[in-house]
Structure 1
């Protein structure tokens, strides 16, 4: 049951990030997806994968896999966030085409 709830929370985090980025600039998409990866997707997905692996192996110590997975997912989200923060907004250059 806990695995299902963790997967459900990660899924809802991804869905909310997708909804919030619809129609936004590329810069805003990187920022939102970075935060979603660090806060909503990373911890719950690594928990679900770690516990599932521990159940398959039959060893409780195998659940420590989540301690290895979460930093990688967090770093991916942090890189996305940093890219989004420092990216230049290129939408201003093309805004005069349609006037």
Structure 2
């Protein structure tokens, strides 16, 4: 049952990020989602997927797939954060 906690925290993090970035500029959205992916979604989602896989195949070593899932999701969050930091604000021309 601990994988339910992992899924719950990942979903809660996504909902929180959505609520915090609603109505913000694209720069702020990239920064918010990048931080959320790195620290709230990727560790807990990879943990939950790893434990779910281990339960399904009935092998504890299958939980090591979390070490394969975590880095790409974390790097995606890091790239989103960097895009948000270095993105130029677009000026609205009338």
Tell whether the structures are fold-level matches, with TM greater than 0.5. Answer: yes
- Bigger-Rg structure (1/2): 1
Matched, 1:72 2:72: yes
RMSD in angstroms over aligned alpha carbons? 0.9
TM normalised by structure 1 equals 0.92
**Number of residue equivalences:** 94
TM-score normalised by the chain length of structure 2? 0.97
User: C-alpha separation between the residues in 1 aligned to 2:2 and 2:32?
Assistant: 26
Structure 1 spans left out of the alignment, 5+ residues: none
Shift of 1:15: 0.4
Aligned to 1:60: 60
For structure 2, the 5+ residue unaligned runs are none
Equivalent residue, structure 1, for 2:81: 81
Aligned counterparts of 1:69 and 1:52: Cα–Cα separation in 2? 13
After TM superposition, the structure 1 = structure 2 runs for residues 1-99 of structure 1, keeping only pairs within 5 Å, are 1-90=1-90, 93-94=91-92, 97=94
- Deviating 4+ runs (over 2 angstroms): none
